[in-house]
Structure 1
């Protein structure tokens, strides 16, 4: 066979492949761009030890020891104090809506009870729906307390502090007290599954019609871009309904994931999210020339949904630029919504921010898709 080998024929095939690769710009861009994006995301954006977590405080006794403890918490960089609350109900609402990761409660007569040796307690209510997000901050509290005691207490109290601590910190892990990973991962997994299937199914189905020539029939009719888009998207909404029903049922039976919130909030949220992904699939179909490119572009959108949405890694641990990119990803807002509803017992009023975010993203994607949709074939 080597005797029949022709360098000129081999060179012709080689040149042809390079020309084909150059013409297939989407595939070439993914081969070069995807490793770079993965390197940047895993190297800079992914952080399993988040800092600067939003923290609220309810102070009922503002003595030197309290101030030293709060100052130590702020210095640790785990806690960012963003305001105060008045009463447990206000703190519970902040945790449920995601406005705070911690609520620190300093009880009445705290300093007096320390002096009297009554061992008072500081309560820290923590949003443990994502256990990995608060584990570092919780572990740092022992060192913070010891530093506050050494800095503040003097005389007989300092000698006493050498033994048992004069006060304790109780961390109340809410929404996932056992710290089960499945309780956090499974609700977020619904967003990833819907993203993978809805985007890819829509993009590939529309591109397939273009390849087969059936799209020409639609283009030759007086059907408007929005009408084509709506007609192509709505059938797959039913597919999303079936997937969601099967997923939620399996999550409850197999993993004992609770569903504490309002069904109406969940219903509105997953409908908006399905429409977001179907519109994104339609947008991809306007850029892809064949089914392979449609699948490649669909995969390209799935990567940010997994890495930048808070599904696998705490959203608060990412740098500001990565959080800004993640905010533009529909999965980010749906994961927040579904965790709030299923784990925290949120209602419609608690997830209005997520509703607005999903709606704005839907409008933006729809407008871009309709502008790119061609009434005539090139």
Structure 2
């Protein structure tokens, strides 16, 4: 009776059969090992919610010893890294609009004279607050660090020096998101995340499904070029992406009151290039995958790291340099810069030229790789 319910011989045969099947499905087996390792590396080494060494620009017409002492003190906090120590006001404005710096420190030309006279010296700190998490830690240290720097540098008597340092006024101007509302940063980024997940998965699984069902043979027998077949497959999904974009933008305005200060045409052009790159990526995945399960696995293997190190969930500037370099290969990273720049900062074409060029390059490389991978037969 027991052997009818459970036979060790039959059970061993079934286990051996599953082992052989797993060995044949190398992609699935690789995902089982690769995804946990990827999560450990990214969460353990790359993710940092308290970013340090944020790029900053200094606008100081007269860089006296008091200014130098204060800038050195800010750098010693490890929050600031002055990549443009001699910037003009116009240059600093362009850099913060393009996202090249997170802070602009402006020291007036009479700063040193005011310090020596004990006449309430003032400095201006402009912070890119489009991502509130990036600026909060660095801003919290400003007043005390600057006051301590003046207290050490001034040659006045102890009581007078302390009074001058206490009178120091640090004016903080949070640009693009003065109230520090998290939704202003998250909701525009969600447009890219939603498009990435749905476009890549829908395209890759739809094409792989045709291979599984055998309908791809009929498609390959048609007198059509590989480019025509690829365009015929991806254009319908571009329409689906357009509908998703409209829904997200309308909901962002109606439900969350997300500001839109830029050019809608420029944003839509960037969205088009981004969606085009995603559907071509899904097509490329379908040329590699043999089953819909493999297509889904490869989609998530691409989606997970891009979500974590693109700057959507965690501050991009807070990651180590190797993680930032890795994040540059994902289109979502560049799309986030574009959509936040246009919607929140009112960035123009010159300001978002770099992310647009990166998306166009990504699209071109994927198109070439897809056409090379295309097979006229199912062998």
TM-score of the superposed pair, with normalisation by structure 1: 0.96
Tell me which residue corresponds to 1:361.
Answer: 362
**Structure 1 residues 9 and 154: CA distance shift in structure 2, 3 A:** same
SS at match of 1:162: helix
- Asked if residue 138 in structure 1 is aligned to residue 132 in structure 2, the reply is no
Q: Is the 8 A contact 2:147 2:168 kept in 1?
A: no
- CA shift, 1:3, in A, is 4.2
Tell me which residue corresponds to 1:160.
Answer: 160
Tell me which residue corresponds to 1:189.
Answer: 190
Tell me which residue corresponds to 1:307.
Answer: 308
String of CA shifts for 1:219-253, please: whole Å, max 9, x gaps.
12232222111110011101111100110110011
Q: Is the 8 A contact 1:96 1:350 kept in 2?
A: yes
SS at match of 2:167: coil
How far apart in 1 are the matches of 2:239 and 2:369?
24
Tell me which residue corresponds to 1:112.
Answer: 113
String of CA shifts for 1:16-52, please: whole Å, max 9, x gaps.
0111111111111111110000000000111111122
User: 56, 67, 85: which one pairs with 2:87?
Assistant: 85
How far apart in 2 are the matches of 1:162 and 1:107?
21
Tell me which residue corresponds to 1:28.
Answer: 29
Q: Is the 8 A contact 1:129 1:175 kept in 2?
A: yes
Tell me which residue corresponds to 1:48.
Answer: 49
Tell me which residue corresponds to 2:345.
Answer: 344
- Asked if residue 74 in structure 1 is aligned to residue 75 in structure 2, the reply is yes
How far apart in 1 are the matches of 2:160 and 2:254?
52
How far apart in 2 are the matches of 1:131 and 1:160?
37
Gaps of 5+ in 2: none
Q: Is the 8 A contact 2:289 2:295 kept in 1?
A: yes
Between stretches 33-42 and 59-68, larger displacement belongs to: 59-68
How far apart in 1 are the matches of 2:323 and 2:91?
30
- CA shift, 1:2, in A, is 3.4
- Please give the residue correspondences for 1:1-378 in structure 2 after superposition, counting only pairs within 5 Å: 2-4=2-4, 5-83=6-84, 84-87=86-89, 89-156=90-157, 158-163=158-163, 165-378=166-379
Q: Is the 8 A contact 1:119 1:167 kept in 2?
A: yes
- CA shift, 1:85, in A, is 2.5
SS at match of 2:262: coil
How far apart in 2 are the matches of 1:186 and 1:337?
14
How far apart in 2 are the matches of 1:91 and 1:27?
49
Q: Is the 8 A contact 2:151 2:162 kept in 1?
A: no
- CA shift, 1:91, in A, is 2.5
The total of aligned residue pairs comes to 376
- CA shift, 1:11, in A, is 0.3
Q: Is the 8 A contact 2:155 2:161 kept in 1?
A: no
Q: What do you get for the CA RMSD once the two structures are aligned?
A: 1.4
Q: Is the 8 A contact 1:113 1:120 kept in 2?
A: yes
Gaps of 5+ in 1: none
Q: Is the 8 A contact 1:192 1:305 kept in 2?
A: no
SS at match of 1:169: strand
- CA shift, 1:129, in A, is 0.2
How far apart in 2 are the matches of 1:357 and 1:249?
27
TM-score of the superposed pair, with normalisation by structure 2: 0.96
How far apart in 1 are the matches of 2:221 and 2:11?
44
String of CA shifts for 1:133-192, please: whole Å, max 9, x gaps.
111211222342133123202333x31343561312111100001011111011111110
